[in-house]
Chains A and B, each alone.
Chain A
Amino acid sequence: MEKLEVKGLNHHFGFTEILRDINFTLEKGSVLSIVGPSGGGKTTLLHLCAHLLDVEEGEVKNSFESSSFAFQDARLLPWKNVIDNIALGLLADGVKKSEAIERSRTIALTFGLEESDFEKFPKDLSGGMRQRVSFARALVVKPSLLFLDEPFSALDIGLKKELQSVLIEMIAKKEISILFITHDLMEAIRLSDEILLLKADPGHIVKKFSYTLPQSERDDKYVYGESAKILQDAEIIDTFELELR
């Protein structure tokens, strides 16, 4: 069984403690969200899980066959056009060039990019379009584990929902497992099987919420209802420093 296991993970940048004693397991086919305030160490945690940072203390065991990463900032290659940027991961996997281009074009259209954008360089794209390209680049390789670092934050509501429904469809078919990072509680509730609450200074997990209703059956009412419930939680109020009036 493919899974991602994190045990007793600590991390420092210089003398600053960023993460303390993080433990969780992500099973195949499920979606695990980590929510917390900005600067809480979420990106750092995700980079450690993806082995983009060296693990210093603790363990990260990843037995997923393949993985890909959608970064918080788009990180496109400025000298490649939209399609060539999307195709990067496919080419790295050894897919034939013509097929890689074809698949990239298809997914670009799915993600709301237009044919007339295909030849553009990143400098000529809006922030939201860059984010879409970056998201397409991560998904086109059909990873069995997807790392998502707030990929929807630069998008407007309509597009956000569209991309989320692409994910929900993949989740329903059990095609993908996701480690998802966000500071948006509603987004987490819409997509996750499990939510971990990461409190800052240093980042540590204070609470866990589980949702069993299949993602495809969660409508707006469900999401608002659960959000309202969770916002009453003392730990949530404390973590996000919500002022109650």
Chain B
Amino acid sequence: MKFIIKILKDFPAYLWSGWGSIASIFLFIALWDMGNQLYGDLVLPSPLETFNTLWMMLHDEEVLYEINITLYRAAMGFGLSLLLGSVLGLLAGFFATASMMSRPIVTILVGMPPIAWIVLAMIWFGMGDDTVIFTVVVASFPIIFVGALQGTRTLDGDLNEMAKSFNLPWHMKFVDIYFPHIFSYIFPSWVSGLGMAWKIVVMAELLATSDGIGASLAVARSQLDTPTALALVVIMIGSLMFIEYIILEPLKREVELWRS
């Protein structure tokens, strides 16, 4: 509770420090507008038109329904990755053999392009939720797995010895010695995993489903409806930035105050 209050208290200062980023966003929008004046509305609609379209779309039941579907798939996929990645990563980290054996598997998972997974998943699961969720899991699970694994592998033996010398009970050992260290590795991996999930979900939808933001993007493309396509992109980027800068980053700052 004290912790949440501290986050809220530091929040205005954090926002204030964001002026630079906001300025750079405006600069980007200005360049975008210049591009529009150079290449015309069909290739690159103006920011104003895009945001107008966006505004209308956000009041359209059907569009909201599509967004919901995508959110559901991303949440399922990311949730599964988070759970599996964290638990298996921790387990693998605690056993030297398991961590050695998991390395090549992780390399395969990380190295294989997501597009190949989508094709395989379409063959295995057909068109629909399962294919998308599977692809999301395959893409973001290894990131989280590696984070948890490294967090566990790098636990400090000296601190463990210190804990032993004070006869720390197991729950204190976990909360005070292991958890903060592991968390400092696993939390950033959750953040990257989430970003990955959000990107992959749209790509998988575009190729493998008839609903969701990705599918809407495919429809916009086939109708050459550039404003709608751009508005969809803005939704994706906007939501990612919101989650990253408004929710996760302030949290991370508080959690890692102790780091030099």
**Partner-B contacts on A (CB < 8 A):** 47, 50, 52, 68-69, 71, 73, 75, 77-80, 88-89, 91-93, 121-123, 141, 147
Chain A residues near B253 (CB-CB < 8 A): none
Nearest A-chain residue to B173, judged by Cβ: A92
Contact of A75 with B159 in the complex, beta carbons under 8 Å:
yes
Q: Is the CB of B258 within 8 A of A79?
A: yes
Our pick among A47, A50, A79 for the contact of B180 (Cβ within 8 Å) is: A79
Q: Which of A47, A73, A78, A92 contacts B166 (CB 8 A)?
A: A92
A75 & B162 in contact (Cβ 8 Å cutoff): yes
The answer to whether A52 and B176 have CB atoms under 8 Å apart is no
The one of A52, A80, A122 in contact with B164, judged by C-beta atoms closer than 8 angstroms, is: A52
- Cβ contact of B161, chosen from A52, A122, A141, cutoff 8 A: A52
| CB <8 Å contact, B159 and A91 | no
User: Given A73-B158, A77-B159, A80-B176, does the pair A121, B167 have CB atoms closer than 8 Å?
Assistant: no
Q: List 22 A-B contacts (CB under 8 A).
A: A52-B161, A52-B164, A69-B165, A69-B166, A71-B158, A71-B162, A73-B158, A75-B158, A75-B162, A77-B177, A78-B259, A79-B184, A79-B258, A88-B166, A88-B168, A89-B166, A92-B169, A93-B167, A121-B257, A122-B258, A123-B258, A123-B259
B-chain residues with CB within 8 Å of residue A122 when the two chains form the complex: 258
Number of inter-chain CB pairs below 8 Å: 49
Evaluate contact between B258 and A68: CB separation under 8 angstroms: no
CA distance A194 to B180 in the complex (A): 42
CA of A218 to CA of B258 in the docked complex: distance in angstroms? 43
Instruction: Give the chain B neighbours of A71 by CB distance below 8 A.
Output: 158, 162, 165
Chain B residues with CB under 8 Å of chain A are: 158-159, 161-162, 164-169, 172, 176-177, 180-181, 184, 257-260
Report the separation of the CA atoms of residues A141 and B168 in the bound assembly, to the nearest whole angstrom: 13
CB neighbours of B180 from chain A (8 A) = 77, 79
List residues of chain B with CB within 8 A of the CB of A75.
158-159, 161-162
State the Cβ distance, A159 to closest chain B Cβ, in Å.
22
Measured between beta carbons, the chain A residues less than 8 angstroms from B167 are 92-93
From B159, B168, B260, contact of A92 by CB (8 A): B168
Closest to B162 in A: A75
From residue B109, how far is it (CB to closest CB) to chain A in Å?
31
Minimum CB–CB distance from B214 to chain A (whole Å) comes to: 41
- Chain B residues in 8 Å Cβ range of A52: 161, 164-165
Set of chain A residues within 8 Å of B259, measured between Cβ atoms: 78, 123
Chain A residues contacting B172 (CB-CB under 8 Å) are 91-92
Q: Could you say which residues of chain B place their CB within 8 Å of the CB of A73?
A: 158
Decide: A68 near B166, CB < 8 A? Known: A77-B159, A78-B258, A80-B176.
yes
